[in-house]
Structure 1
Amino acid sequence: MTEIRPRGRGAAVLRQTVTDTIVAAAVAELAETGYAGMSMGAVARRAGTGKAALYRRWPSKEAMVVDLIDVFASRQVPAGGAGDLSGDVRAYVRAVADTLSDPVVMRIVLDLTAEAARNPGLSEAFDTAIRQPRRTACERFLRSAVERGQLPADLDLDLALDLLVGLTQWRVLNTGQNVDDSYVEATSKLIIQALPLCLGAGDRRGVRG
């Protein structure tokens, strides 16, 4: 698990083992009850500690969950760098599929995605920790593919990113269907074939924009 550095006062002197126990309890509680039903007291009981230990690390439930989003973010963005469009696309689709196929992660992501529509703090955390790094990683290898001549110079980046990110995420989050190796391969082939058709940036961002 990625080490969390809590945002409460005196966080630097807090015991990491206690923090790890609380984080594990918070993940379990969030997956079981959702953000709306989650409370600091319930997390403390599950962790076998007092609420004071939580408040020494986080000033609120929202602050704690924002840190949990950082934990999930560390599993979201693939390393990339295959040096080939086909390899980069397959690595990305596989990484997203592996992450979202975890039942606990999927329940939490579904719940927090809905909650973020009502909570500006969570929405900003999602954008900063997950959405933007994911799109930045994809944009990097798409630009490299353009430089290698594997994609057209007038590629519409926003449209290409929507295509790349959307298919696997839609299948897992909106249909709940399994993502196996055959689906990853079929989806990767479809994306690779369709990417060169993402042309005409117009008002959107192009590679040369």
Structure 2
Amino acid sequence: MAEDGTEDAPAAAKRAPAGAAVLRAEKTEAIRTAVFEELAAVGFARMSVEGIARRAGVGKTAVYRRWRSKLHLVLDVVSAVVAVGLPTPDTGSLRGDVRMMLEVAARALRHPMASQIIPDLLAEAARSPELAGALKATLHDSQEGVAAAMVARAVERGEIPAGADGRLALDLMTGPLYWRLLVVRDDLPAGYLDELSAAVVGALGGR
């Protein structure tokens, strides 16, 4: 406070404009957490902004200030998790890179909440072209970029022939894990990730 009773400039600058909504970080994080819990509890079709807000301990307006719809909220939260959890491996060998990606993917798919949410979202996507397209862009396309970079480096090192398909590499890595962990609901046997890594490299023409 200045001697004349007016507010100091730095303090005044920190004050939000009149009528502006302050998006508090702790509320945003509570909403993100509530989205995963609500998806696991009731599924995407039955999930509502009201339910998310109630679980997060906030009002509906707090949700709508941040996201304009349930779909945008879910996709934003899912894409943020994918961006954080998805590595760009560069171990010096294709087999090492594949092994690292498989380890991260297996850890994510083993999570109890993920094992409920992912199949539900994919089932809902079969009925919603908008959700299907958004999930493809959020989940598949980002991972395809990582797989393509891995394959390109392996070609440069001479590990696999030129023209090796990054999309095929991604299919070979994720398909078996999804089948075992989310369809069959069986744990991975000892050494499975090592064997799968070798199989992926071999299928791409590697030694």
TM-score (normalizing by structure 1): 0.81
Matched, 1:48 2:48: no
Matched, 1:83 2:77: no
Is the Cα contact below 8 Å between 1:99 and 1:105 reproduced in 2?
yes
Q: Give CA-to-partner distance per residue, 1:20-57, whole Å, 9 cap, x none.
A: 11111121011111001111111111112221221222
CA 1:177–1:65 in 2, change beyond 3 Å: closer, same or farther? same
- Taking the aligned partners of 1:37 and 1:14, their CA distance within structure 2 comes to 27
The more displaced of 119-128 and 46-55 is 119-128
How far residue 75 of structure 1 moved from its aligned partner, in angstroms, is 4.5
Q: Give CA-to-partner distance per residue, 1:52-93, whole Å, 9 cap, x none.
A: 221222222112111122133125522211121111110111
The aligned counterpart of 1:33 is 42
Q: Which has the larger radius of gyration?
A: 2
Of residues 73, 77, 85 in structure 2, which corresponds to 1:68?
77
After the TM superposition, which residues 128-143 of structure 1 pair with which residues of structure 2 at under 5 Å, given as runs? 128-143=137-152
Matched, 1:15 2:24: yes
Q: Give CA-to-partner distance per residue, 1:97-145, whole Å, 9 cap, x none.
A: 0111101012111111111222233223222221011111011111111
- Taking the aligned partners of 2:149 and 2:21, their CA distance within structure 1 comes to 35
Is the Cα contact below 8 Å between 2:94 and 2:201 reproduced in 1?
yes
Sequence identity percentage: 39
Task: Show structure 2 runs of 5+ residues with no match.
Answer: 1-18
Is the Cα contact below 8 Å between 1:81 and 1:88 reproduced in 2?
yes
TM-score (normalizing by structure 2): 0.82
Task: Show structure 1 runs of 5+ residues with no match.
Answer: 1-9, 198-209
Please tell me the residue identity of whatever aligns with 1:29. E
Q: Give CA-to-partner distance per residue, 1:162-191, whole Å, 9 cap, x none.
A: 223322222222212123652212221222
- Taking the aligned partners of 1:191 and 1:106, their CA distance within structure 2 comes to 24
Give 4+ residue runs of structure 1 displaced > 6 Å after superposition.
none
Is the Cα contact below 8 Å between 2:148 and 2:165 reproduced in 1?
no
Is the Cα contact below 8 Å between 1:164 and 1:191 reproduced in 2?
yes
The more displaced of 67-76 and 79-88 is 67-76
Aligned residues: 188
Describe the SS at the equivalent of 2:61.
Answer: helix
Describe the SS at the equivalent of 2:204.
Answer: helix
After the TM superposition, which residues 1-209 of structure 1 pair with which residues of structure 2 at under 5 Å, given as runs? 13-179=22-188, 182-196=191-205
Is the Cα contact below 8 Å between 1:69 and 1:125 reproduced in 2?
no
